[in-house]
Amino acid sequence: MSKANTIAPRDTAAPRNIGTMLKDLDWRRYVIYIGFVVVFLFFAVLLRDQGFLSPQNLLNIFRQTATITVIAVGMTYVISCAEIDLSVGSVAGLSSVCTAMALSQWGLIPGILAGLAVGLVVGSINGALVSLLGIPSFLVTLGMLGIAVGVAQWITASAPQPILNDTFNMLFGSGDFGPVPGLVVWSAIFVAIGAVVLNRTKFGRQVLATGGNRNAAEFTGINTKRIKFQVLLISGMVASVAGMLYAGRLQSGRFQWGAGDELSAIAAVILGGTSLFGGFGSIVGTLFGALLIGLINNGLILAGLDSSQQQVVRGAIIILAVALARKK
Amino acid sequence: MNTADNVVEMRSISKGFNGVSVLRDVSFDVRKGEVHALAGGNGAGKSTLMKILQGVYQADAGEIIIGGKPTVINSIHDAKAAGIGMVFQEFSLVPSLTVAQNIFLSAEPLGAGGLIDDRAAVRRARELFAEMEVTVDPQAEVSRLGTAYWQLTEIAKALSQDAQVLIMDEPTASLARHESEALFELIDRLKERGISIIYISHRMDEVYRLADRITILRDGSRLLTEPLTNVTPEQIVEGIVGKKIEGELAYRERDRVDHEGAPLLEVRGLNAGRRVKDVSFALRPGEILGLAGLMGSGRTELARALFGIDRRDSGDILIRGEKVSLTSPQQAIDAGIALIPEDRRAQGLVLDHSVRDNLLLPLLGQIKRGPLLDSNKGKDLSSSLIKKFAVKVAHPHRPVRLLSGGNQQKVVIAKWLGTDPDILILDEPTAGVDIGTKSEILDMIRELASAGKAVIVISSEYPELLAVSDRVLVLKDGSVIRDIPRSNIADEEYLQLAVQGV
């Protein structure tokens, strides 16, 4: 190869030493793992006498973050497609009450189908309004947040809907698979499927391309409207499953289940390194983002902070992490 | 040569938009393994012709024959299937994906279980780049690469789809010199492999370096198609220049600039980024300085450096003989400089705000009473600006969005003149403006200079530059190559040749 053909490789030079290697490292993508380890070690030392490292406590962290993890997997698709879904928390709430009501009326399968139907309907409406009418997803899903929680409150007259079906409760959240809590299995399944689909399938690649440069995606023959519809549909469906996990774990359907989860899920996704401007998404990062939030919650409880103080510390840590992970 | 050698033949293409004819009976053909240059002035129809070939537009009349067979191209997809590849600039790539992922976007190699096999994509990308004899890391994320690599990725993408004809539109506009040279060598190699290239460029040296034949369009018709060996640079320039200067745009002698007096602005050995290299010039009160140069010659970048947007690497900027440090637009404004940017919609106006609010934005300091804004003062000030600059608007409350391009541009100019700058830089002040408003804007520029302001006008429309400038600086690759008084410029062709460095 002649020398003249080698265009000065300013940006992609092979790292010559550790210094340039560190400089070339994309911090945004790894800050979550570093942050996770740092926070974990910090609590491990500080709270060693409060039982932070006990297997029971560690499993608890997983269990407490499971629903957020599931919701955040769907949210990763939405955000890496340069959209947002604020309705996920109230979709979970609506799904929990619909499941509970259908369960007591018609039994197990209709109950599950009712929950999924909530996600199907809400996700389709969100997706259609965004992709067909071109309304910003922020506004569509903000409106849907109110509608879904309002409907859930309305049809139940604000009353909790108990679930007495043990099979359902065991399956969705209350039961264990051997030593492993069912909730952990659920989130593992969602993370695994989510990661493979996003990284290794055409659909996943098209989601990233649409989020990264919609024009380019169109020119390459990708139907970006359909992709935007699909990510919002996925997000709604996943949120409805999360609602059933709430229902199973707490053995009831209630409109408050999932309230505020959209913020935790978005925080988990952004902490995990997914770009808020679209084009890059990491499901494994999202898992660690959710775990980090769970870790912080758990540590702060063990440290004896009350819930108001927890909120302050949690907010500060999220801002700090996102500031560290921002684009240069 | 018979027609069987033509990979693409466009026969008698006509196209109009809203009853305005843009292409009239244009025929264009490309032979196998040939570089065919396509030239013509603004609005000559080059891009329309290419968009028809790419399937973006459909011709009203005429036919397209590809590989000897009449072919209907109704979409970008059809064009790709027919072997037409495009090299867009920073357009068809997804910055957050890797080079290999971009090349095979929507055509990913699939492995076990229908999952994408990224390793195979990387391997095939390596093979493509090896065939092109260039070094690009297929696993690098595109956003971390320079423009030259974007282009190579685009070319590889087109080749991966078996393109037989590549359309390149001003491909060197954003490349450094050595990068351009590498691109030319690549084009030579592609030619040897039998790939044809349609090369759109205003740069004479490139056209002579690369092209086998040239087609010149003028006002929607074909002027000529000839082997390069049969045409002189003067002929090409004549072809590009097009219509004679309209009377409205003729140069008018103004009060003579005092060339002995102290300069208002002086630039000494200015270096900024890779597009402003060792630039020196002086500008006196009352003088209009035109900046001419091809796309990517550093005109806009020079303006940005003077306005404190781009960082100055070395050299000095002096205002009234005193060195100034301009590291932000605010400092430049304080020093009496105003920049009227190239893209007024994106950089000059808040489109949904009213004419009045837009006018007052840089003047808020002048209409304050205590900590609050005095709306009466604001009304008076904006009304006087609207009147002074003859902005045609029904009411100052109307959003700027509703104004015509020319009136929007007047609002941008009026807005900055409200700050009473001494030095005014206008980047493409009449782009997208109708001819009537154009001469009004040029009159405005002349008046400002006559009032003692120093003005720098950047324009790629030579008639306009010649109409107002007292002196023209010609930039090439970021350096000043000529500094010509207006009186020494006989006509537009002279300036064209100077810009080409012929």
C-alpha B439/C-alpha B436 separation (Å) is 6
Q: Which of the two residues, B351 and A185, has the higher pLDDT score?
A: A185
Specify which of A149-163, B166-180, B307-321, B364-378 reaches the highest per-range mean pLDDT.
A149-163
Neighbours of B298 (CB within 10 A): 25
Tell me what the pLDDT averaged over chain B comes to: 86
Chain B residues whose beta carbon lies within 8 Å of the beta carbon of residue A220 = 92, 105-106
CA B319 centroid distance within chain: 29
C-alpha B455/C-alpha B469 separation (Å) is 9
ipTM for this model: 0.81
Q: What are the beta bridge partners of residue B20? A: B17
- Interface membership of B434 toward A (CB under 8 Å): no
Q: What is the DSSP code string of B81-130?
A: HTTEEEE-SSSSS-TTSBHHHHHTTTS--B-GGG-B-HHHHHHHHHHHHH
Instruction: List the domain range (segments joined by +) for residue A158.
Output: 28-325
Q: Is A175 exposed, middle or buried (0-12, 13-18, 19+ CB in 10 A)?
A: middle
Over 80: is that where the pLDDT of A327 sits? no
Q: What is the pLDDT of residues B112-160, one digit of tens each?
A: 888 999 999 999 999 999 988 888 999 999 988 887 888 899 999 999 9
Chain B residues whose beta carbon lies within 8 Å of the beta carbon of residue A196 = 115
DSSP state, residue B399: B
Map tokens 């890059």 to a residue. Answer: A280
Domain count, chain A: 1
Over 50: is that where the pLDDT of A10 sits? no
Q: Is residue A7 part of a domain?
A: no
pLDDT class for B418, splitting at 50, 70, 90? confident
Q: How wide is the angle at C-alpha A248 spanned by C-alphas A246 and A252, nearest 5°?
A: 80
- Interface membership of B178 toward A (CB under 8 Å): yes
- Interface membership of B114 toward A (CB under 8 Å): yes
Residue A1 is predicted with a pLDDT of 36
Residue B91 is predicted with a pLDDT of 65
- A 112-141 residues with CB < 8 A to B: none
- Interface membership of A3 toward B (CB under 8 Å): no
- Interface membership of B137 toward A (CB under 8 Å): yes
Yes or no, beta carbons of A215 and B179 under 8 Å apart: no
Q: Is B72 exposed, middle or buried (0-12, 13-18, 19+ CB in 10 A)?
A: exposed
Yes or no, beta carbons of A2 and B133 under 8 Å apart: yes
Residue B4 is predicted with a pLDDT of 56
Q: What is the pLDDT of residues A50-89, one digit of tens each?
A: 888 998 898 889 988 999 999 999 999 999 999 999 999 9
Q: Which of the two residues, A7 and A187, has the higher pLDDT score?
A: A187
Outline where DSSP puts E strands in B151-257. Answer: 165-169, 196-200, 213-218, 221-227
Residue A26 is predicted with a pLDDT of 64
* Residue B343 token pair: 């893209």
Q: Which of the two residues, B242 and A269, has the higher pLDDT score?
A: A269
Backbone φ and ψ of A259, nearest 5°: -60, 130
Q: What is the DSSP code string of A214-243?
A: HHHHHHTT--HHHHHHHHHHHHHHHHHHHH
Q: Is residue A21 part of a domain?
A: no
Q: B128-146 burial, b for 16+ CB within 10 Å, e for fewer?
A: bbeebebebbbebbbbebb
Residue B114 is predicted with a pLDDT of 86
Contact indicator for B383, B297 with CB cutoff of 8 Å: no
For residues A139-159, average pLDDT = 96
Q: What is the DSSP code string of B128-147?
A: HHHHHT----TTSBGGGS-H
Q: Which of the two residues, B104 and A328, has the higher pLDDT score?
A: B104
Q: Is residue A19 part of a domain?
A: no
Q: Is residue A119 part of a domain?
A: yes
Domains, chain B, ordered by start: 3-241 (3.40.50.300), 262-336+424-431+455-502 (3.40.50.300)
pLDDT class for A8, splitting at 50, 70, 90? very low
C-alpha distances in Å from residue A31, one per residue of A42, A273, A278, A327, B54: 16, 8, 18, 12, 44
Chain A residues whose beta carbon lies within 8 Å of the beta carbon of residue B141 = 26
Backbone φ and ψ of B396, nearest 5°: -60, -15
Percent of chain B with pLDDT strictly greater than 70: 94
Residue A325 is predicted with a pLDDT of 62
Q: What is the CATH number of the domain that holds A185?
A: 1.10.3470
pLDDT class for A25, splitting at 50, 70, 90? low
Sign of CA dihedral B129, B135, B139, B144: negative
Which of A30-44, B5-19, B33-47, B253-267 has the weakest average pLDDT? B253-267
Q: Is residue A196 part of a domain?
A: yes
- Interface membership of B78 toward A (CB under 8 Å): no
Q: Is residue A8 part of a domain?
A: no
Yes or no, beta carbons of A220 and B105 under 8 Å apart: yes
